[in-house]
Amino acid sequence: MQHPILIKNVNIVNEGQIKIADVFIQNGVIENIGNLSGEITKDAEIIDGSGKYLFPGIIDGQVHFREPGLTHKGDLYTESRAAVAGGTTSFIDMPNTVPNVLTTEILDEKFRIASEKSWANYSFFLGVNNDNLDKVLQMDTSQFIGVSDDGLYFTKKGNLLADSPDTMEKLFSKCKSIIAIHSELEKTIEENEEIYMANYGEDVPIACHPLIRSEEGCYQSTKRAIAIAEKHKARLHILHLTTEAETHLFRNDIPLKEKNITTEVSVQNLWFSDKDYQRLGTLIKWNPAIKTEKDKKGLLQALLDDRIDIITTDHAPHTLEEKQKNYFQSMSGAPMVQHSLYIMLELYKQGLISLEKIAEKMCHNVAILYGIEKRGFICEGYFADLALVDLNSPWTVGKENILYKCGWSPLEGQTFQSKVTHTFVNGNLVYENGNFSEFIPGQRLEFN
């Protein structure tokens, strides 16, 4: 039996409004919201929410938690624990674990491991590449939260799904679930690599990353994928957008529920720009590349005017050793899931986004986009996945508070003004002011 909890006098950030009320949590769900006292709440543990802000737990639509097979970088226990410390209570993990998630057996195995090791609620993409394409075309894909090629390759040469219009035609004409793709053209990347290698040899500077993995390679890829998806009325989701140019390919004149083509931005693309390569080098080498200041501003604008639907992290941990190599050898990706809400709250502090919009893009819309049931909102009868935030409690990211298994963050030295003080997953208070409860596993996300 779970102990009932009453959060008193808290600013509830939900569905475009901020209202002060009490929230009563019992048996895993939000039972009541209002001015509560008396019989039903009398045995509850009381948490004073005065002056604090209560968000629905963040649902991160794109993470790489690395288990099975790559657990020297991170695993389902360590990375989900880091997630809840940052207010993220649910995640959807990508298929480029080892073995790649190309069969339902491997997918089931990931669900099994998560049921024993994940602090947060979880779901997993089924991977798709040339090795399982024919099988996927015959499957009832509605049983999966989505299929994705992210981090997988379609040919031994390293081509992405986006490089192959014929394959997209096949997949998009048959697949009924969300198809989440990594949108870049390998051909453009290779041509650019040759140009920069002719100049620099193996010593290509990291500053060339956004010129090699260029705007053109992203824009042409996304434009073509959207055209093919529209032709087949497929349900396409473009992962981690990095250019302002691409944002204009997406609509904002219909509600999210009616969109067949959706997209996301990852927090690092709202925070870093090409200015930061000099300071951080390959630590912020991501694919697609973090681009210019203009792109960063354009992505934020598209988020605000609803051409971008959700915020994710693309949390992609690697060891420092794997990162600190020359341009070609260093791995792409960095850990981010513990710090995503902090970045967005800091942007709020800078006057760039409202708290309501943060809840919409990190919580409500992720639940709507993936059809996740009874999560992502602060509503009676919904799972009590919640993050309580103090907006005036500065702290600095440092080795001593980084919870990623890889033990580093590109945000080290950054002071954030806000702090997540309490995180609830399914009604359990799993994180409180730097301390964790005993391990309580999260739940499998249900979707419709």
CA distance 312 to 293: 19
Please say which residue, 317 or 442, places its beta carbon nearer to ligand NCD.
317
Min dist CB 333 to ligand NCD, Å, is 3
Query: Which residues sit at the interface with ligand NCD, rule CB under 6 A?
Result: 64, 96, 150-151, 182, 286-287, 314, 316, 332-333
The residues that bridge with 13 in the sheet, in sequence order, are: 18
Smallest gap from Cβ 62 to ligand NCD, in A, equals 8
CA distance linking residue 99 with residue 421, whole number of Å: 37
CA distance 298 to 252: 15
Task: State the minimum distance, in angstroms, from the CB of residue 17 to ligand NCD.
Answer: 35
Shortest Å distance, C-beta 106 to ligand NCD: 16
Closer of 6 and 316 to ligand NCD (Cβ): 316
Our CB check for ligand NCD shows the closer of 22 and 150 to be 150
| 29 vs 334, beta carbon nearer ligand NCD | 334
Beta carbons of 87 and 389 less than 8 angstroms apart: yes
* Helix boundaries (H) for 118-205: 133-138, 165-174, 186-200
Asked whether 175 and 165 are in contact (CB, 8 A), the reply is no
Smallest gap from Cβ 103 to ligand NCD, in A, equals 19
Q: Which is nearer to ligand NCD, 52 or 64 (CB)?
A: 64
Torsion of CA 213, 214, 220, 226, to 10 degrees: 70
Between 122 and 416, CB nearer to ligand NCD: 122
Instruction: Quote the CA–CA distance of 37 and 28 in Å, as a whole number.
Output: 20
> What minimum distance in Å lies between the beta carbon of 241 and ligand NCD?
13
User: Do 74 and 107 meet the contact criterion of CB atoms below 8 Å apart?
Assistant: no
Q: From CA 183, how far away is CA 225, in angstroms rounded?
A: 8
**Pick 2 or 319: Cβ nearer ligand NCD:** 319
Least separation, in Å, of the C-beta of 150 and ligand NCD?
5
What is the token pair recorded at 53?
Answer: 């802000």
Cis peptide before 288 (omega within 30 of 0): yes
- Is the separation of the CB atoms in 127 and 148 below 8 Å? yes
Q: How far is the CB of 283 from ligand NCD (least distance, A)?
A: 12
Name which of 177 and 330 has its Cβ closer to ligand NCD: 330
